[in-house]
Amino acid sequence: MKRPRNILLVDDEEDFLATMARRLGRREFEVRTATRCTDAVPIVASGWPQVVVLDVMLPDTDGIACLGRIKQAAPRLPVIMLTGHASMQASLQGMEQGASDYCLKPIEIDELVEKLIIAFNEAGASA
């Protein structure tokens, strides 16, 4: 039996979340979504996700502050930052704060899947 591959997508763009969740689900990932950091942190604290994909622009806080809260709840959890070109500096700052990788938006599904597999492997999860 295959181990689940649990991903938490955190982004304020609901269309993006729905599309990515559906496309990742077809690739046998279990996906939950959150549009706010305050919704994401309890899911992280529950121990459910094995990888988080986190946008740097959220309505309730910036992605770097949210990354800090995620890392406080789960220090070893891989977090992939999502950014537009205008906030590239934030992703680099995220890497300094413990993010495992970053992606530029818009991202192709194959590129995201590749980064997710790397994150699962680094975390010791079966991908």
pLDDT tens digit string along 110-123? 999 999 999 999 88
Condensed to tens digits (0 to 9), the pLDDT of residues 5-33 reads 999 999 999 999 999 999 999 999 999 99
Residues linked to residue 98 through DSSP beta bridges, in sequence order: none
Q: Once rounded to an integer, what is the mean pLDDT over residues 43-61?
A: 95
Question: For residue 127, is pLDDT > 60?
Answer: no
**Which amino acid belongs to residue 60?**
D
Position 123 scores a pLDDT of 81
Position 86 confidence tier, pLDDT thresholds 50, 70, 90: low
Q: Three-state DSSP class for 20?
A: helix
Give me the percent of the chain exceeding a pLDDT of 70.
Answer: 93
Domains belonging to the chain, first-starting first, are 21-122 (3.40.50.2300)
Residue 126 has pLDDT above 50, yes or no: no
Q: Are 108 and 76 in contact (CB under 8 A)?
A: no
Whole-prediction pTM: 0.92
Q: Please, which residues bridge with residue 53 across strands?
A: 9, 80
